[in-house]
Amino acid sequence: EGSPGVGGVGTPGEDGYVLLTASAACATATSTTIISTAFTSTSVATSARIVVFEENVDTPTLNTDIIASVSRDGTNFTNATLTDSGYVTGSSGQRILTGQADISGQPSGQSMRWKLALANNTVKIHGVALQWS
């Protein structure tokens, strides 16, 4: 038995979490695009649901300052219309944004990816989830 921490040994199977934080300053950038690595699906998906955990820095406009899209072939993306589904807890902090996308018109593939196009430096992204069928 060892003590948990960097280089330490903990007890396998215990509860835990990982907190990743970063900050960056860029005086000229007003937009950012984040694209996930590919997730391999077991079949060719025709629809997708995306969930974004987001925190306002300024006052963003959904589907303008925050644009979510999904790909089933890893290259071609279809926009999902985001709606505000409320806050993670209470009435401030992280919001839950959800959206659906019909990806049946994309080239066939099993390489699922999501993309977020962020404009005007108005948000912080805390997490993204993607479902497909």
User: For residue 79, what are the CA distances in angstroms to 60, 95, 106, 111?
Assistant: 17, 19, 12, 16
Length reported for the chain = 133
What's the pLDDT band for 124 if we cut at 50, 70, 90? very high
94 touches 54 (CB < 8 A)? yes
Q: Label residues 49-70 b or e (16+ Cβ within 10 Å = b).
A: ebbbbbeeeeebebeebbbbbb
Any idea of the CA torsion for 82, 70, 106, 43, to the nearest 10 degrees?
A: -120
Please tell me whether the overall predicted TM-score, pTM, comes out greater than 0.95 for this model.
Answer: no
Residue 35 pairs in a beta bridge with 115
> Residue 118, class by beta-carbon neighbours within 10 Å (0-12 exposed, 13-18 middle, 19+ buried)?
buried
pLDDT at 86: 95
Any idea of the CA torsion for 33, 36, 41, 43, to the nearest 10 degrees?
A: 10
pLDDT at 120: 87
Whether the predicted pLDDT of 10 surpasses 90:
no
Whether the predicted pLDDT of 25 surpasses 80:
no
pLDDT at 84: 97
pLDDT at 29: 56
Whether the predicted pLDDT of 3 surpasses 80:
no
74 touches 113 (CB < 8 A)? yes
Whether the predicted pLDDT of 69 surpasses 60:
yes
Whether the predicted pLDDT of 22 surpasses 80:
no
Whether the predicted pLDDT of 1 surpasses 60:
no
Q: Which has more pLDDT, 48 or 7?
A: 48
Name the residue type at position 78. T
